[in-house]
Amino acid sequence: MLDPLRAICDDSLERKWIWLSLALAFLMGGLLGFYAIANNIHPPSNVQTIDSTRLHLSEEFAEDNLGVKSNDDGSLTVTLVAARYGFYPQRVEVPTDTRVTFRIASADVLHGIHVPGTNMTTMVVPGYISEVTTKFPRAGEFSLLCNEYCGLGHDAMWSRLVVTEKSAGGESS
């Protein structure tokens, strides 16, 4: 059998171990890829920059413009500011089975946002607008948690996400 590793390695036992470690590396890479696709995990794809020190002066992230807005196509956009130690506004309400796009900016340091039990998660890097689009199939109250260590109050950094049944939400059905 022609072994391509023969060119760099004479010892057959050593070649077996090299093949084994290569196989393991590909297996683990394949598993990561498989679960990323199977669980619908998407990496950040939206590269848009913002001056984190001047969020209050920006149009989109000014305090009065935060929260849930409905779009013409029936989807929703949720604009959030992550700042030590909370996500603002502190309570967000969206209906089930509706496309929701979160747009989040950090006012200070690196944060993460995560809704346990859903695929809603992203890092919130200062200087960038993080964008995640998802749908929530189940109604209920969820926590919006910070999952990047951001300071002494990190443990207490969370807000409330309320998902209501679509028909009860008063949105168009």
- Identify the DSSP state of 63: G
Residues 69, 76: contact at Cβ < 8 Å? yes
Quick one: which of 93, 131, 148, 171 contacts ligand CUA (CB under 6 A)? 148
Q: How many CA atoms lie within 13 A of 40 on its CB side?
A: 9
Q: Does 104 engage in binding with ligand CUA (CB under 6 A)?
A: no
Beta carbon nearer to ligand CUA, 98 or 106: 106
Residues 141, 161: contact at Cβ < 8 Å? yes
Distance CA 26, CA 101 (A): 34
Q: Which stretch binds ligand CUA (CB under 6 A): 12-20, 30-38, 45-53, 148-156?
A: 148-156
Least distance in Å: CB of 20 to ligand CUA?
Answer: 40
Quick one: which of 154, 159, 161, 163 contacts ligand CUA (CB under 6 A)? 154
Least distance in Å: CB of 169 to ligand CUA?
Answer: 29
- Cα 74–Cα 76–Cα 81 angle in degrees, nearest 5: 170
Beta carbon nearer to ligand CUA, 115 or 150: 150
Beta carbon nearer to ligand CUA, 78 or 113: 113
Quick one: which of 150, 159, 161, 163 contacts ligand CUA (CB under 6 A)? 150
Question: Which residues have CB under 8 Å from 33's CB, separation 6+?
Answer: none
- Identify the DSSP state of 49: B
Distance CA 109, CA 86 (A): 12
Least distance in Å: CB of 76 to ligand CUA?
Answer: 24
Looking at residues 107 to 146 of the shown chain, list those that interact with ligand CUA (rule: CB under 6 A). 111, 146
Q: Is 17 helix (H, G, I), strand (E, B) or coil?
A: helix
Instruction: Write out the residues near ligand CUA by the rule CB under 6 A.
Output: 111, 146, 148-150, 154, 157
